[in-house]
Structure 1
Amino acid sequence: MAGVNRKISAASARAHTRKSKQNTSFHFPSGMFRKILVVMLMGLLAWAYQAIQPSPPKICGSPDGPPVTAPRIKLRDGRHLAYKEHGVPKDKAKYRIVFVHGFDSCRHDALRLSPEMVEELGIYLVSFDRAGYGESDPNLKRTLKSTALDIEDLADQLELGPKFYVIGYSMGGQIVWTCLKYIPHRLAGAVLISPVINYWWPGFPDNVSREGYNQQLSRDQWAVRVAHYAPWLTYWWNTQKWFPSSSVIARHPDVFSPQDKELLPKLLGRKQYEAQIKQQGNFATLHLDMIVGFGKWEFDPMDLENPFPSNEGSVHLWHGDQDWVVPVTPQRYIAKKLPWIHYHELPGAGHMIPAADGSGDLIVKALLLGEH
């Protein structure tokens, strides 16, 4: 009997040992659990930080960067600006124009003018790569004012004279507002073609900005909202794969109006230089355009005064009523708010006004000769 009891006691001990092991196999001391949570949180934060950090730009002319092939000037802050000259020689020109390219473009995307008109009127036009685009050095501290000063530097170093004309398209059109603010004394006239709107300009009544904002594709509403409220997430938002990013960056077909789609074949020539446009990186070009363009501005364009009170020059705004990239509603309000601007609304036109046959001549004649 004693032997039986010893066997039962031994079996009970083994069972208790197994039960104790089962009870302790998934138990961590509270201190260890906290350490694991901290490590996991630090890993998640490190991943998130890396995800939102853009890659450094590949600067043209640097050992690992693209080559420099265009003529360039050195700006007041030491950066280089690449440019391209068009038309008659500037020393023989009657009119000197600086053209500001748009989003995802470069100096090669200048306004198209007929050779006959260029020769007849004596037009010299210079286009340039905005900071970070093409072969111009990036400016990671880009501001509203900096591009206007870049334009002034370019005009001075190319000896365009005390006054010159400026024409900007799309995002370049938005930059013309900054020229009217910061260097109006240098302008002989200005043109904004399909200029990008900042829906947070305080001069817009809520109903106007809301209507224009809501006319965008849903994915573009989110893209500009991120650029405005969380600029530090702009790079991540437009590179992640979880949500649709900017349709303009993605070149989604839904952003093109019927007329824009008809004009797309005219842009096939861009394939020759398209690889150069963003060769220094998307952040220094597209993403900074969004951060600055849709960020908080230190001035409201609707507070600007007429830079030509004696009609010694003129300002023109051209927009298509079927523009699906930049809705027309806010432009109409600006035209009413600033009656000194000559507003031209083109029925049936989309965003790609400069690509339409004869549009460049029409725009320039209105600027230089007052023809409508």
Structure 2
Amino acid sequence: MIMVVFAICLLAWAYKNTRPPPPQLCGSPSGPPVTGPRVTLIDGRHLSYNEYGVSKDIANYKIIFIHGFSSCRYDETIYIQELFEELKIYMVTFDRPGYGESDPDPNRTVKSLALDIEDLADTLELGSKFYVIGNSMGQHGAWGSLKYIPHRLAGVAFIAPVVNYWWSGFPTNLTMAAYMLQPRQDQWAVGVSHYVPWLVYWWNTQKWFPGSGAIARKPNFSASDWEVLAKRQGQGPATPVPKDYIRQQGLAESLIRELRVGFGKWEFDPMEIVNPFPNNEGSVHLWHGDEDAVVPMSLQRYIAKKLPWIHYHELHGVGHLIPMYNGKKEALLKSLLLGE
């Protein structure tokens, strides 16, 4: 009888500790304030956004930028005021669901994010076609757009896109070799995200052993990335991000949900996507640095081989933070928009 009571207590403790607290919704009595513009999506959720460049009414190019892991709508990594004015570029960035001031989406999937992007474009009246740029973990918004809303795309660019090791199109030996290149704690965190997603919150909040390095603000950047960051130290972004803004609604619906979606079971394999621009009316680009320690280059090379219609740009001496390297964001924008 004592053992039964002990087992029940243990299960109750485990259940409680794997259940995250409810999110602190922006604009609610106990939640953070709403400080920026938001659109109301079809399902009633709010999506917070920023606008950059020229007015959308006079723009030649309209871009929706999808930020990476532990980032937000203040991500200005590809914004260049002079170039945006010269080419008449309009860009909108947005907090993905659960980040910053965008409402969480407890049913978030790769498809739902693509539909959010389409909904955002329609609400802001961006027209029938627009460009999508996915940065790092923002890749699943870009892949989702190619899969679910290809008819709305003028072009797509991936910047150092994070890869799901369980996409069926990858050979097992290739993904295993790439998976083992990660720090041990990230191997565990990613594996838990895929195999036991209900445990991800507990795994990354307990104190017995290390969880995800990125959540702990210790990303596995390369030496070249750290060097670039050191050079930029003290400059700060043009628009400073408010303190604790990214995670202010809670870890569970921002970064934890991100891991579960990014490394969970996808509804499709990106390597089975059909070229959305068979007549070269648009283009898709994938940019990756050969010193990227976050995402192994071998996986991007394989994707480029399987999808030859993607323009693959491999950058020598460059790590994961591609737009921070001299001249790279200019090259990225011009290749996508001008075909240079």
What 5-or-longer segments of structure 1 have no aligned partner? 1-33
Cα distance, 1:267–1:303 mapped onto 2, change above 3 Å:
farther
Correspondence 1:89-168 to 2 at 5 A: 89-168=55-134
Larger Rg computed on CA atoms: 1
Q: Distance in 2 between matches of 1:98 and 1:356?
A: 22
Aligned to 1:324: 293
Aligned to 2:257: 288
Aligned to 1:86: 52
Letter of the structure 2 residue corresponding to residue 345 of structure 1: E
Aligned to 2:31: 65
* Structure 2 residue matching 1:165: 3-state secondary structure: strand
Aligned to 1:26: none
Relative to total residues, which structure has the larger helix share, 1 or 2? 1
Cα distance, 1:66–1:320 mapped onto 2, change above 3 Å:
same
Q: Once structures 1 and 2 are overlaid, which stretch shifts more, 39-48 or 259-268?
A: 259-268
Aligned to 1:297: 266
* Structure 1 residue matching 2:329: 3-state secondary structure: helix
CA-atom RMSD, angstroms?
1.3
Aligned to 1:263: 228
Letter of the structure 1 residue corresponding to residue 131 of structure 2: Y
The Cα of 1:274 is off from its aligned counterpart by 4.2
Q: Distance in 2 between matches of 1:370 and 1:274?
A: 39
The Cα of 1:153 is off from its aligned counterpart by 0.6
Aligned to 1:357: 326
Cα-to-partner distance string for 1:294-351 (whole Å, 9 max, x where unaligned): 1111100000010000000000000111111111110000001100000001111111
The Cα of 1:68 is off from its aligned counterpart by 0.2
Q: Distance in 1 between matches of 2:189 and 2:243?
A: 23
The Cα of 1:263 is off from its aligned counterpart by 2.2
Cα-to-partner distance string for 1:197-255 (whole Å, 9 max, x where unaligned): 000000001121112111111111111100000000000111111122111111226x1
Q: Does residue 302 of structure 2 align to residue 337 of structure 1?
A: no
Q: Distance in 2 between matches of 1:112 and 1:299?
A: 29
Aligned to 1:233: 199
The answer on whether the counterparts of 2:41 and 2:116 sit within 8 Å (CA) in structure 1 is yes
Whose RCO is larger (CA < 8 A, sep 6+)? 2
Letter of the structure 2 residue corresponding to residue 161 of structure 1: G
Letter of the structure 2 residue corresponding to residue 256 of structure 1: F
* Structure 1 residue matching 2:74: 3-state secondary structure: coil
Q: Distance in 2 between matches of 1:227 and 1:59?
A: 24
Q: What TM-score do the two structures reach when normalised by structure 1?
A: 0.88
Q: Distance in 2 between matches of 1:306 and 1:207?
A: 27
